[in-house]
Amino acid sequence: MSTFPATESTLSALHLGEFLRDQYGLGPETACKLFRTGINHLYLVSDNGNKFVFRIYTLNWRAKSAITEELRLLLYLKQNNIPVSYPVSGHHEELIQEFNAPEGIRYGVLFSFAEGRKMSKFTPLTSYHIGIAMAKMHKATENFAIDRYPYNAKTLLSDSLKRTKAFFTSPNEDIDFAERLTHHLTREYEKVNTANVRHGAVHLDIWFDNMHINGENEVTIFDFDFCGSGWLCHDIAYFLFQLYNTNQGENEYEPKAESFLEGYETIVKITDEEKRIIPIVGLSVFLFFLSIQCDKYDTWSNIFLNEDHLKRFIGQLKRWMVYNKMNIE
């Protein structure tokens, strides 16, 4: 009987551990454990106190050339002493491994481990140091040319709306709102004075889930899977939007937001135009990630992606708009 085709498999942690020992010269006691499945599968690797993360990209999620650009950016940041999780090379200096999985060729990369832990609730002092870490990264990535996804009104808004509507096909007031908001934000993007907005390589997904905090002031950023080219304030806006969502109430959010911006501007100033468009840009990145959830339903969102989730998601957008005194034209 022939093997039945698969769309996604989970590679054996035991056999991956053996592979990593051989390819990276790790010790005989090296342990490999599946940490999380999703858009990418993550494995925790430990070798006599040294820790790593091995990422397996799902089939056809990222082209090898796109992964190469992600790793080029990370090595550039490491060389510039930016606190990031960076790729580790194997015996033959290769950074990307290939696996002939049941569904097809999948790629894997070994990353350094970010010391510390995730913190969904952190102090204003920690928020201050997150601002410093992001600003240091942006100082290095401004005008950095990366041959990867451009983030602009088309990719974040109009293209995203098409994919979201293709998933939620039934008449729905929340989709109607998303459509009206998309058209409004597209018009707002056209009004931006781009001469006063910094551009370069962006992470696009910086929030508590993609950074580790060691103590209160050591911040390491990881998971650059969505990195691409765009306005640097996309990272600022997305972080603040996520901070708002995880710190309900102005008394919780505002001291941390102010500390984050203060820390950021100890390294580099945020222009007035960038500050003006932060609410707009934050909404656009969130609409983009809604479309990603729809795209990757099979590998990520199949448990929770439904009309109830959509309503909660749109509710977050509306709360952000109320807080920032925004209206749809």
pLDDT in tens, 271-327: 999 999 999 999 999 999 999 999 999 887 678 899 999 999 999 999 999 999 998
Q: Identify the residue with better confidence: 298 or 33.
A: 33
Phi-psi region of 89 (alpha: psi -120 to 50; beta: other; left: phi over 0): beta
Return the half-sphere exposure (C-beta side, CA atoms, 13 A cut-off) of residue 9.
Answer: 16
Q: Choose the final residue of a domain: 112, 144, 168.
A: 112
**Average pLDDT score over residue span 208-214:** 95
99-124 confidence digits (pLDDT tens)? 999 999 999 999 999 999 999 889 99
Question: Lowest-confidence range among 22-26, 66-70, 73-77, 215-219?
Answer: 215-219
Q: How confident is the model at residue 136 (pLDDT cuts 50, 70, 90)?
A: very high
Q: How confident is the model at residue 90 (pLDDT cuts 50, 70, 90)?
A: confident
Total structural domains in the chain? Answer: 2
Identity of residue 122:
F
67 and 145 share one domain: no
Question: Cα separation of 118 and 37, whole Å?
Answer: 18
217 and 151 share one domain: yes
Is residue 151 within 8 Å of 230, Cβ to Cβ?
A: yes
Q: What is the pTM of this model?
A: 0.95
pLDDT at 248 over 90: no
In a domain, 329, yes or no: no
- The whole domain housing 32 covers 13-112
58 and 93 share one domain: yes
